[in-house]
Amino acid sequence: MKIIDKTPFLSVGLTIFLLSVSTLGQSADQNSPTPVRTSDISGNIRARDIGDARLTTHFYGFDGGQGDIFVNVVTRNFTGDIDVFNEDNLRPLSKMVFYADAEVTETGRLIYLRKGERLLLRVEGRTPNDDPATYRIKLGGSFIARWGRQVDDAPTIAKTGGEEGPVRVNSVGTILPPAPKPRNTELVKEPAPASVVNEVAKDVSAEMDRPAPEVKEIRSDTVLENDAGKVVERKTTPPRKTRVGAKTPPKTANPTAGKSKPAPEPKPDPLASINLVVLLKDGDIFQAPMSDVLRFNVNAGVLTITRKDGKVTRYSILDVEKVTIQ
């Protein structure tokens, strides 16, 4: 009987599986980069709060053998830099600059290595609007995946306060209102006491047993006449008895007759007391009541304020220090 050695097949299958697994997580620590175990890297950068000008940085570590390393990058809504360094002495090997002026940006680099080196890939940038930025990096040539050594997890900082303490703040230090407490919306219906049920039953039975009131015939002096097909209704009323010498009160005209009711006063706009305040880095302040503001948004790094009278005010987001609603 012939015995087939399955070790080569298992090795090839394991290699294909490791190349197909995407990189898990992104490390923000240069001393503990995320190990690249596949030739395809993908990640995203979330939008920061308005006024937060900090950049988001991701570090990846991989190895390179002697020869050419091909780096292909595709970004969407990303403004920043992607650099490749020598991990030992941080010697720059390649730099790619991206702007989010196009929907999708694609570029590539060729890095030649005279000998095998340990490399550090840095992705540093931000999104210019509220949508997240995405990037995808493909490596080829003399690229060597780093899955053979044990890599410690990136250090984490325990949350002490912030959104979990009694006072919540955002990334730029603005105090946020307290989170609303959950309310119990379930209504508990308690059964009525037996005494109340018996009293209601007695009242209903007594009302049903009560005899109907008698209907008396009411005579009136109303006369109906048929005059050319029309029905005319005449009512005779007895004359009023007045005492001799009694003074009849004079008729007073209705003071409200002929006068129109005054128009109701317009209700005050609740947004008139709330203002949109934009503090610029040079010290200037833009302030307008929210009742006059139609909308304001940030697009392509520009803060646009549109008022109801048609006036449009624009500020570069790099010149804005803080935007608040007071």
Average pLDDT, the chain: 76
The pLDDT of residue 258 is above 70: no
- What DSSP string describes 215-276? --------EEEEETTEEEEE---PPPP--TTPPPPPP---TTTT-PPPPPPPPPPGGGG-EE
The pLDDT of residue 188 is above 60: no
Domain 271-325 has CATH 2.30.30.100: yes
The pLDDT of residue 132 is above 50: yes
Fold annotation for 25-152: Jelly Rolls (2.60.120)
Distance separating alpha carbons of residues 230 and 167, to the nearest angstrom: 83
Stretch 240-268: mean pLDDT? 62
Task: Yes or no: say if 93 and 69 are a contact pair by the CB < 8 Å rule.
Answer: no
pLDDT tens digit sequence for 81-108: 999 999 999 999 999 999 988 789 999 9
| Length of the chain (residues) | 326
Distance separating alpha carbons of residues 38 and 152, to the nearest angstrom: 18
Task: Yes or no: say if 92 and 85 are a contact pair by the CB < 8 Å rule.
Answer: yes
Domain with CATH 2.60.120.380 in the chain: 25-152
- Residue 195: exposure state from Cβ atoms within 10 A (0-12, 13-18, ≥19): exposed
Distance separating alpha carbons of residues 195 and 215, to the nearest angstrom: 37
At 43 the pLDDT is: 93
Residue where the block lists tokens 């900082």 = 157
Domain with CATH 2.30.30.100 in the chain: 271-325
